[in-house]
Structure 1
Amino acid sequence: MEATNMKSVEKNIASVALADIQPSNYNPRKTFDEASLAELADSIRQQGVLQPIGVRPIGENRFEVVFGERRYRASLMAGLETVPAVIYEVSDEVAEEMAVTENLQRKDVTPIEEANAYQKLIESGRHDVHSLAVQFGKSEDYIRTRLKFTTLIPEIAALLETDEITISVASEICRYGEDIQSEVYDRHLKDGVIYGSWRGMKAVDVAKRIESDYTTDLDRYSFDKTLCKSCPHNTNNMMLFCEGSCGKCANRKCLEDMNAAYLVEKAMQMLADHPTASLAYSIFYTCNDTTVKRLEELGYELERLSCRHEDYPELPEAPEAADYETTEEYEEAQRDFEQEQEDYKAECEDILRRSEEGEISLYVLIGNKDLFLGYVENSATNTANGTLSTKEKELTPLEKLEKQDKRNKEIALEKTVADTKKRILEVDATDTKFGADEDKMIYYFLLSYLRREHYAAVGIEDENVYYLSDKDKLRIIENLNGKAKAVIRRDFLISEFQDAPASDAAATLLLRFAEKHMPETLAEIRKGYDEVYEKRHQRIEEKKAVLMVQDKARQEAEQQEEPQPDETPQAEDVAA
């Protein structure tokens, strides 16, 4: 029986054909339990749909579910043709809010579905945490906690959905960024983890483990931590922790960025304070790679020190009167401090003089969490780097700047090449004609396979040349003739044949190549191995013949032992 599209049942409720209804895309409920739907479908077959669904018109005789999608799906399973529905003339925004709100009234709403629903209402711009708390009768802390669940990585969110972890444990985990969450999941919550599993652990214990294993003490860092005091990623601002120190940071990316920004700014200031110094990092100490990269991007040259350095003298610390019991002790400490200042000043002046005269090199050294001054004897630097100390000592400040400028140009080229390598994969050159310049490029790379005995064929007459330099290759490709091209291509093929797997395709090509260039040698090789094969083949054929005779004899014996087809009924007749 064909149902009408919409038949009035009572005021503002209509009977709508299920064929004219479609689900919406903004329903916060994304999964539906099939067994539960089947039970609801059985109930609907017996009693009908007791509560109307909500729909809205989206075209001529077309409707979209606003709320009640579970009843809509169960009605389809039950085989109904129509369903009672309340029809609403509402916009997309209002329909989405109605769907979200109705779903939040369900008893079986999961924490993640609830979190996503609150997030949608916040994003609509018509609600904030306070209004949601009032509308749904929840506390603001409850709403905020649920909203944090939207930051859980999918793997941990799934554990919460299936009750593998508790809401309390999820509340502790969602305080941290995706990087920490991923490590916690892989090491402690993933299926199959036996040793070190955190499943079943209390929330307070999980919180302590994360704080201990995945956060960093801010006291170790020297940058200004004013912003850290109010940061939600500071463990001092987490409910279970209240430390007297700066706290611990749970946002590794932010910590790395703030530390690198501080180190870059400090490096520039130290270079301004010490004009004869250069930037460097030592192989004997851990350096901050992010800082090194940022300084290079700003145009600074950084040296890699492979020798030990001497520490720059430390500025003496002035005494505090409160630290001394008597005035005499304080005055004595003050006199010592003044002498230390004089010694410090003299040491600094001596280092500056030696630096200007080229005896030593002064460096601003990049550490992991801070910068410091150091210097090395130029003889030590040159010995480690394999250069002549006299040459280094002769460099004037102007020559040093020119050397740095040259290195900066090299860095610019290196960065350009590196980025070009990445972007060249995006080029679509399928419709462009292959040019003569590209043909030369091919031969530039093929020259790497050229055998030394063929150097003369490409114009290298010097017998003392044992390998082709880049300069040699560029000169060769500019003067190629047909014979040289053939030699280069064939040496490439021979090299590839040497390394190719012994597959049928590679073997076929190799033998085809050999038939063309060494037919007599190939025939001699084949003859030797073919003779061995024929002898072995003959032995195998003889053995096969023996086995075939034995098999035939065994089959004949088995047939003689079997009863004839007409003997069985005769025996039965006698018995009868």
Structure 2
Amino acid sequence: MIMEATAIQSVEKNITMVALANVQPSNYNPRKNFDEASLAELSESIRQQGVLQPIGVRPIENNRFEIVFGERRYRASLMAGLEDIPAVVMEISDEVAEEMAVTENLQRKDVTPIEEANAYQKLIDSGRHDVQSLAVQFGKNESYIRTRLKFVSLMPEIAQLLEQDEITISVASEICRYGEDIQKEVYNKHLKEGVQYNSWRGMKASDVARNIERQYTTDLERYAFDKTLCLSCPHNTNNMMLFCEGGCGNCANRTCLAEMNAAYLTEKAVRLMEERPDVPLCHEIANYNEIVVERLTAMGYEVESLNYYAKAYPEQPEAPRKDEYDTTEEYEQAQSEFEQDLNDYTEECEEIRTRSEAGEIILYFRIESKDIVLCYVPKVTCTTNDTKQEQTLSPVEKLEKQDKRNKEIALEKTVEDTKKQILEVDMSDCKFGQDEDKMIYFFLLSSLRKEHFEAVGIEGKKPYSYLTDEEKINIIANLTSKQKAIIRRDFLIANFKNAYGNNATASLLLDFAQKHMPDLLADIKNGHNEVYEKRHQRIEEKKAVLLVQEQAKQEAEQSDKQQSEVGMQTEEQPQEENIAA
């Protein structure tokens, strides 16, 4: 990677013209949708000014080039009728090319949540990243990355609604907490185009969450625990109505339902660990039972958090029952299909077993919200805290690893409890110390601009990378007055992005600019004020014309009114004379 990075840096200095006919898009570009109107606008700009920023390509077979980044500029150049395009030619591997493409696209302003989710997932699946490293690289917090990764679990139809802004990110975040079965029902009954009654489009996320919980999570049919006690329970909706629609009913006692489910899953996990101690427990980012994970962790079991997609173990097909078919022919057809499915199932299980023994995949028991299932992942993507599991651990190593994890859990719990308790501490009378001052700069460093990395002692960083926590700790250890000023001002500049119109932030921005760039600010103001004065003059001229027209109209109306009154008086005089006579 270091050699490849060096090669990239050296080649980026040389920009060459490449024939568009020899350039082709790559299949790993996370950007799949290109707005036609926006492309047409860019195409017109390119037709007039040319391509201002080169695209990135790498050589492939037959003297052709594959786009690493800049596909939008490539498409717009084709529309503009160009024959050549400026490009940076890079000799890089598939892995580096994909990572650069994903990274460059993630830094776009118009990246969609689904594109973002798929891009983050690609980087994690590469085995070179986890949530923590992505948060550092893209300057996001871990919660943001995890929320986006959850969108990978959205069914395509709901993902498309999010892409089209038919539902909000908050609503999508609530829906992706549930499995595919609930997502399908929610989509078909409440989100699908044409649903006239009980549509959830436009609904607030809190209302959607409440509706899903009320309508779907209490359905006893969806739970795997023994429901014998539920049959006669007064909280079962089947026992509350004179007529019911069948099924197991819904549970009206959520506390009892959650406890029954958690107890069942915990017991099942313990039993599976006794039967298959070689298969570790895990859960994915979304759709898992937090209570069960906490209980198992407290019992000393290690439960890994997977940042990548785990494929479920195949389900054994169910044999058809003859009494369920009307004719012998239908039953024989079903039996034939079952035998084929069973054969496929057996072959798939054998393939999984062979790959597992060869070390190509790792088996897991995955804790879901209502069940625990067997699943597996390719070994190349299996990373836990940046450490690849390259060999099967011995029993002693597993215990040592478990002990290490237990210690980490103790620290995690300590931090969580401290975060809660520190809010209650009154420290208003304590003097603000130098150590606290350093802490402030640690957080301010998140806004440090890349052109100032060298000023704080960081050299050789990639143009699309961010400061790591370790680098920040090293920086704040020995800050000079000049470095502090740079960091504080970059923090101000980062927050000036919220300036607009005449709000308070805009006022502060202009004051800041007046201090540091008075001449440039004056030019900016003069340029816009000149445009304003011209527009103002035209408006005043139009107003003057309108005022003259309005005055003329009023005078005409007044004249007509006076004439009308004179006419009426003339008609009334003869009548008065007759009366007098």
* TM-score between the two structures when normalised by the length of structure 1: 0.46
Q: TM-score when scaled to structure 2?
A: 0.45
Q: Which structure would you say has the larger RCO, counting Cα contacts within 8 Å and 6 or more residues apart?
A: 2
